[in-house]
Amino acid sequence: MLRIVEDTVRSITPHILGVGAVEELPEADPQASVDFMNGWLEKGIPEFLIVTYIAFLALNLYSLIKKGRLFPRLDEGAQAELMENLYEAKGMLAYQLLYFISSPAMSSYYSRIDVQKLLGFDIAALKEESERRLVTRDGGPLPPRDSAAESSSGEGER
């Protein structure tokens, strides 16, 4: 990943998620956002990589024009002011820019198990509960796995 993009992801994470906004929730980890984005871009389509890079480079260009420095080089107050301006901007371009620059931070933070549990999503408990449920259309027992596969493939029907 381009160094300027990595530095921007690190510096933008606290502004996207807030710092200490909710006492019960843990702090965001800027490096986790970078790591998430690296994995995301490796597995994604090349066009997504290009658009994401363009979004982060556009943020830095916007910062350079408005403040005379690249986004990661600004102090926290100037970064926050710049982000406020983006959030207040109207139009599809501003919305798309915010979507692409906020996605790595949001996705990495809310995919954390500790955050999900605090929000009421205990994935292990939900999975265990779903495995105990047997759901059929008529309320009867489910057919054995092998016979269900055969009947859905058309074999055995006359």
Mean pLDDT by 10 residues, the chain (158 residues): 93 85 82 92 86 95 96 96 93 92 92 88 81 69 57 48
What pLDDT shows up at residue 121? 86
What pLDDT shows up at residue 102? 94
Q: What is the dihedral of CA 66, 70, 73, 75, to 10 degrees?
A: 20
What pLDDT shows up at residue 156? 46
SS3 of the chain: helix, strand, coil, percent, to 5: 70, 0, 30
What pLDDT shows up at residue 148? 43
What pLDDT shows up at residue 122? 83
